[in-house]
Chain A
């Protein structure tokens, strides 16, 4: 799983599959208001696309697209977006996570401001879930030794 595994069929299929998977994940996150879905589910699908890349190519190839540092930043960014929206509500003069008050800075009425607030936190949840899933998979698949395991195989 760590070392490179050459197979034209698998690699081509995965190269074709990953963009639709990621597009569907973004759809699941953004469409959580109208259909089953939301941040947790969409984040998991988004992480699955990166796990598919690791299985079809190798860890180094995937880390060129999603490096460890970026991953750690995304981990925290999701939670920061969530609590940031909550703090924004306090700054605008209401309770923590009371999105109705966001209509002061958004050009919509309070009900739709709540809807947009929910969308904002779903995006935060999606980013956090995606980054955590990918980081756990990277660490478990390579036994925590990202670089050394690759050198051993080559």
Chain B
């Protein structure tokens, strides 16, 4: 069984390595990630949000719904930790 699992891991790893060949080069300016919405965010961030730090404007404005989810995840983690660990007498 262990040997079978090792074979599965090996095949999955080989497939993943093979898939990385299709990835765009590191820092490639023509890759889809750098040609679709990123240039628009970088060009319009001062004009639209008056925030020089593009990371903050993407995190807090363009993708603020995602950040709300992150905050809720942290809140849920805190509440669950309190429920599991806290023992009051």
Contacts and interface: CB of A to CB of B under 8 A. Distances in A.
Interface string B59-72: 11100110110111
Q: Main secondary structure on chain A at its contact with chain B?
A: helix
Interface residues of B, number: 31
Q: Main secondary structure on chain B at its contact with chain A?
A: helix
B16 interface: no
A56 B87 CA distance: 24
A128 B60 contact: no
Interface stretch (B17-25, B31-39, B47-55): B47-55
B84 to A, nearest CB: 8
A3 interface: no
B71 A34 contact: no
Nearest to B87: A144
A129 B76 CA distance: 11
B5 interface: no
Given A117-B61, A121-B64, A140-B85, 19 more contacts: A33-B53, A34-B52, A34-B53, A36-B53, A75-B75, A79-B71, A86-B64, A86-B68, A96-B65, A114-B57, A115-B51, A118-B61, A118-B64, A128-B75, A129-B74, A132-B75, A143-B85, A144-B85, A145-B89
A34 B20 CA distance: 35
B40 interface: no
- By Cβ-Cβ distance, the 7 closest A-B pairs, closest first, are A132-B78, A118-B60, A144-B85, A139-B85, A111-B50, A114-B49, A115-B50
Contacts, number: 101
Contacts of B64: 86, 97, 118, 121
Interface string A91-122: 00000110100000000000110110110011
B53 A139 contact: no
A121 B60 contact: yes
Contact of B48 (A34, A35, A97, A111): A111
Given A78-B75, A144-B86, A33 B52 contact: yes
B56 A32 contact: yes
A107 to B, nearest CB: 14
